[in-house]
Amino acid sequence: MDAIQVQGVSKSYGAQQVLTGIDLAVPAGTVFGLLGPNGAGKTTLVRILATLVRPDAGRASVVGHDVVTSAFEVRQKISLTGQYAAVDELQTGRENLVMVGRLRRLGRSAARRRAVSLLERFDLAEAGGKLVKTYSGGMRRRLDLAMSLVTEPPVIFLDEPTTGLDPRSRQQMWSFVRELASGGSTIFLTTQYLEEADQLADRIMLIDHGVAVAEGTADSLKVRVGGERVSLTFASASSVALAVADLDPVASTATSVTVATSGTAAEVRELLDRMDKIGAPVDKVAIHRPTLDDVFFALTGGGPR
């Protein structure tokens, strides 16, 4: 069953076309990554799915509810963590969580129990009694995510959730996302961090200037921009010249030559023997596999953060 369905969704603001005919489907219990440069339309699509913005054309549904005609029902099934932590700095972490619980119509005791549980789950138990204005950026981000999970919604939208976090806090956030997915939640993740999408997403859509340019698993997208490559480093310019003349390199520098390869040990050994025979002994060998960085640069007009 698909938790999210989008068919032909378009959106413009005045003369600026932000989204153009987006189609996608997100199976329940999976992590879907929406990847693209600044201004690609990622946040606009999230706002449409979260019922904050109406599409100009097309339709979208979340857990079977249309985002336009059944907006109230959609809001009961989702949580949204935006690019900036939406927390009250003048309250403690526990008070923030209890407040959200009460707003979502939990009883006082139930709201307090849920707050304690989430503080422990997000490693904030010791800080729960402290004012949020004393929290680090990573702690605020974790609290923000905890607040969005007070009522355990089946669909969670994370709009660039690790922006501005240090590497350790980012790794912690990734761990929480994996935990949510393993528990059956559907995660819709937007990000500019290529490694983040590679690590977390079951499927990825790449959009640029509001147009979907590619969709698939991380591995299938990498295959689209080419297979593996082997880089041979030589001790002299004359060896490089011999290698370039003998091979069909995809790239070369003053000290190295790069050729396409299947990546097998037999092929690499054959390549090294071939270089020895022509009098161009190899100093170093490095095998490069395509990354989402390669996909990003090959298929979009922008660059990652």
Q: What's the average model confidence in pLDDT over 220-239? A: 83
Rounded to whole angstroms, how far apart are CA atoms 97 and 135? 15
Is residue 227 predicted with pLDDT exceeding 90? no
Run of H or E including 225: none
Is residue 303 predicted with pLDDT exceeding 70? no
CB atoms within 10 A of CB 133: 11
pLDDT, position 240: 94
Among 115-124, 202-211, 255-264, the minimum mean pLDDT is found in 255-264
Rounded to whole angstroms, how far apart are CA atoms 268 and 275? 11
What domain count does the chain have?
Answer: 2
84, 70: one domain:
yes
pLDDT, position 54: 96
262-285 pLDDT, tens digit each: 778 888 899 999 999 999 999 999
121, 193: one domain:
yes
Is there a domain that residue 296 lies in?
no
Q: Where are the beta strands (DSSP E) in 46-198?
A: 57-62, 65-66, 78-81, 155-159, 186-191
pLDDT, position 301: 55
pLDDT, position 179: 86
98, 145: one domain:
yes
Q: What percent of the chain has pLDDT over 70?
A: 93
Rounded to whole angstroms, how far apart are CA atoms 239 and 253? 12
236, 216: one domain:
no
Torsion 239-241-245-247 (CA) sign: positive
Is there a domain that residue 142 lies in?
yes
Is residue 302 predicted with pLDDT exceeding 70? no
187, 264: one domain:
no
Structure tokens at 92: 């403690």
Q: What percent of the chain has pLDDT over 90?
A: 53
- Mean pLDDT is highest, among 114-123, 169-178, 286-295, for 114-123
Is there a domain that residue 151 lies in?
yes
Among 54-68, 112-126, 167-181, the minimum mean pLDDT is found in 167-181
Run of H or E including 231: strand 229-234
Rounded to whole angstroms, how far apart are CA atoms 27 and 188? 11
46, 170: one domain:
yes
pLDDT, position 304: 43
- Mean pLDDT is highest, among 115-124, 156-165, 259-268, 285-294, for 115-124
Q: Are 143 and 115 in contact (CB under 8 A)?
A: no
Between 223 and 44, the more confident residue is 44
Domain boundary among 174, 198, 223: 223
Q: Are 209 and 178 in contact (CB under 8 A)?
A: no
209, 242: one domain:
no
Is there a domain that residue 122 lies in?
yes
**Containing domain of residue 6, as a range?**
2-223
Run of H or E including 211: strand 211-216
For the chain, give the number of residues. Answer: 305
Structure tokens at 136: 């680090």
Interstrand relation of 31-35 and 203-208 (parallel, antiparallel or unpaired): parallel
109, 237: one domain:
no
pLDDT bin (cut points 50, 70, 90) of residue 90 is: very high
The CATH number assigned to the domain holding 54 equals 3.40.50.300
Between 293 and 17, the more confident residue is 17
252, 194: one domain:
no
26, 160: one domain:
yes
Rounded to whole angstroms, how far apart are CA atoms 233 and 287? 12
Residue where the block lists tokens 């859509």: 205
Is there a domain that residue 302 lies in?
no
Domain boundary among 206, 223, 240: 223
pLDDT bin (cut points 50, 70, 90) of residue 20 is: very high
Domain boundary among 170, 200, 223: 223
Identity of residue 106: L
Radius of gyration over alpha carbons of the chain, in Å? 24
236, 110: one domain:
no
Is residue 137 predicted with pLDDT exceeding 90? no
The CATH number assigned to the domain holding 266 equals 3.30.70
Structure tokens at 265: 């040990």
Interstrand relation of 203-208 and 186-191 (parallel, antiparallel or unpaired): unpaired
Rounded to whole angstroms, how far apart are CA atoms 87 and 93? 9
- Sequence-separated (6 or more) residues with CB below 8 Å from residue 37: 192, 208, 296, 300, 301, 302, 303, 304
Give the chain's mean pLDDT: 88
pLDDT, position 237: 93
Q: Are 195 and 292 in contact (CB under 8 A)?
A: yes
256, 176: one domain:
no
